[in-house]
Structure 1
Amino acid sequence: MTSFAFFRNLRILLVLVRRDYALQYAGSALGLTWMFLQNVSLILIYTVVFYFLGIRSQGENSIEYFSNVLSGLLFWIPLQEYLIRGTGILTDNRQLIKRSPLGPEIFLWIPFVQFLLHWLITSIPIFLFLGWAGKLGIWSFPLSFFCIFCAGLFLSFLQNYLARVNIILRDISPLVRLLTQFLFWGLPIVYESKGTLGKLNVWNPFFFPLELFRSALLVGYESKAVFIDFLPFLIIFLGIFILSRAKLNQVVLDHL
Structure 2
Amino acid sequence: MNYLTSLLKELVAKRKLIWELSKADFRKRFVGSYFGVVWMFIQPIVTVLIYWLIFGPIGFKSAPPVPNASYVQWLVPGIAPWFFFSEALNCGTGCLQEYNYLVKKVVFKVEILPVIKLISCLFVHAFFVAIMFIVFLVSGKRPQISWIQIIYYSFATSMYALALTYLTSAIQVFFKDMAQIVSICLQFGMWLTPIMYSEQLFLDKGLTMAPMILKLNPFYYIAAGYRDSMLTGDWFFMRPTLTVYFWAVTLITMLVGLKVFKRLRPHFSDVL
Over aligned residue pairs, what C-alpha RMSD do you find? 3.0
The residue number in structure 1 matching 2:39 is: 34
1:104 deviation in Å? 0.9
Contact 1:147 / 1:213 at 8 angstroms: preserved in 2? yes
Deviation string 1:179-218 (CA, Å, 9 cap, x unpaired) is: 1012111111111123334132122121122222322232
SS in 2 for 1:63: coil
Is 1:79 aligned with 2:85? Answer: yes
Q: Structure 1 stretch 149-158 or stretch 226-235: which is displaced more? A: 226-235
SS in 1 for 2:195: coil
Identity percentage over the alignment?
Answer: 22
SS in 1 for 2:232: coil
1:198 to 186, 190, 211: 211
Structure 2's unaligned 5+ residue stretches are: 1-5
Is 1:98 aligned with 2:98? Answer: no
The residue number in structure 2 matching 1:66 is: 72
Is 1:227 aligned with 2:232? Answer: no
1:99 deviation in Å? 3.6
Kindly tell me: are residues 171 and 115 of structure 1, through their superposed partners in 2, closer, same or farther at Cα, counting changes over 3 Å? Answer: same
The residue number in structure 2 matching 1:163 is: 169
Separation of aligned partners in 2, 1:69 and 1:214: 9
SS in 2 for 1:248: helix
Separation of aligned partners in 2, 1:198 and 1:69: 18
SS in 2 for 1:206: helix
Deviation string 1:91-134 (CA, Å, 9 cap, x unpaired) is: 11112332473221121112211222121111233222222345
The residue number in structure 2 matching 1:108 is: 114
Higher relative contact order (CA 8 A, sep 6+): 2
Q: Structure 1 stretch 50-59 or stretch 179-188: which is displaced more? A: 50-59
Task: Tell me the amino acid that sits aligned with residue 40 of structure 1.
Answer: I
Separation of aligned partners in 2, 1:141 and 1:234: 23
Kindly tell me: are residues 158 and 8 of structure 1, through their superposed partners in 2, closer, same or farther at Cα, counting changes over 3 Å? Answer: closer
Is 1:248 aligned with 2:264? Answer: yes
User: Runs of 4+ in structure 1 displaced over 6 angstroms?
Assistant: 5-8, 59-62, 222-225
Contact 1:147 / 1:216 at 8 angstroms: preserved in 2? no
Kindly tell me: are residues 50 and 10 of structure 1, through their superposed partners in 2, closer, same or farther at Cα, counting changes over 3 Å? Answer: same
TM-score scaled by structure 2? 0.79
The residue number in structure 2 matching 1:25 is: 30
The residue number in structure 2 matching 1:178 is: 184
Equivalent residues, number? 253
Separation of aligned partners in 1, 2:230 and 2:68: 18
Contact 1:72 / 1:189 at 8 angstroms: preserved in 2? yes
Q: Structure 1 stretch 172-181 or stretch 55-64: which is displaced more? A: 55-64
Kindly tell me: are residues 71 and 133 of structure 1, through their superposed partners in 2, closer, same or farther at Cα, counting changes over 3 Å? Answer: same
